Amino acid sequence: MNPLPMPAQEFAPGLLIQHITPPLSLSAFKAIAFDMDSTLISIECIDEIADAVGKKAEVAAITEAAMRGEITDFKDRLSRRVALLKGVPAEALQEVYDQRLKINPGAPELINAAKAAGLHTLLVSGGFTFFADRVRDRLGMHEAHSNTLEIEGGLLTGQVLGDIVDGEAKKQHLLRLCARLGCDPKQSIAVGDGANDLLMMGVSGLSVAYHAKPKVREQAMVTINEGGLDRVLELMA
């Protein structure tokens, strides 16, 4: 019989750990990868764009099921959600960015600490370049990879250009970054909240679930249920 998995331990209120022994050294890592929606930022951008055309509930239901891992074909689900955005004015993207998008607590502090310790900072998102590139610049991150919404005549076409960034692509972006840096993937940290973050979290040396879905909390080495992203720093020497 396989032994039952050890439950995660509460390191501090709202901060759980498993399979690691703090204190850790931040400078022992060479890269840190972040999901964007509901991780670095407070919203799911696609839900907020859909709100502009009265389809938020329809799109949000697909988003939620996908994040819980009930829908495993992320590419198919993203394509379906984006198709619902056909005809949305491109200005709606700027409106969402200006009026609804908030950086999550502790994100600047964690990113600044990581950069100060010599880590390369990566944003990798199943969301959209319009937001990801702005968030990258706002937080002073090194690079971002996400999906490009097609716009024609000032309107969204309901299509994504190029290859869709899904869970496998997130993992590959992290692996390629580690190869470029000449480090082992176990010298990377991966931070996320949803099912499509699990593959990149699985190849990293330190996986962090931030206010995450149950499936992600089960597998992550660090789970932040209360407070900001900078709670990761409580585990560092």
Q: What is the DSSP string of 2-17?
A: PPPPPPPEEEETTEEE
As given in the structure block, the two tokens for residue 219 are: 């597998």
End-to-end CA distance of the chain: 38
User: How distant, in Å, are the alpha carbons of 60, 71, 86, 171, 194 from that of 188?
Assistant: 31, 27, 38, 11, 18
Exactly one of 35, 166, 197, 230 is catalytic; name it: 35
Residue whose C-alpha is closest to residue 37's, from 77, 71, 75, 67: 67
As given in the structure block, the two tokens for residue 164 are: 């869709």
Whether residue 73 lies in the annotated active site: no
Residue whose C-alpha is closest to residue 104's, from 219, 237, 227: 227
Whether residue 137 lies in the annotated active site: no
User: How distant, in Å, are the alpha carbons of 17, 89, 91, 130, 180 from that of 37?
Assistant: 23, 21, 20, 13, 26
SS3 at position 203 = helix
Q: What is the DSSP letter of 220?
A: -
CA distance linking residue 82 with residue 216, whole number of Å: 25
Query: Which residues are catalytic, by number?
Result: 35, 37
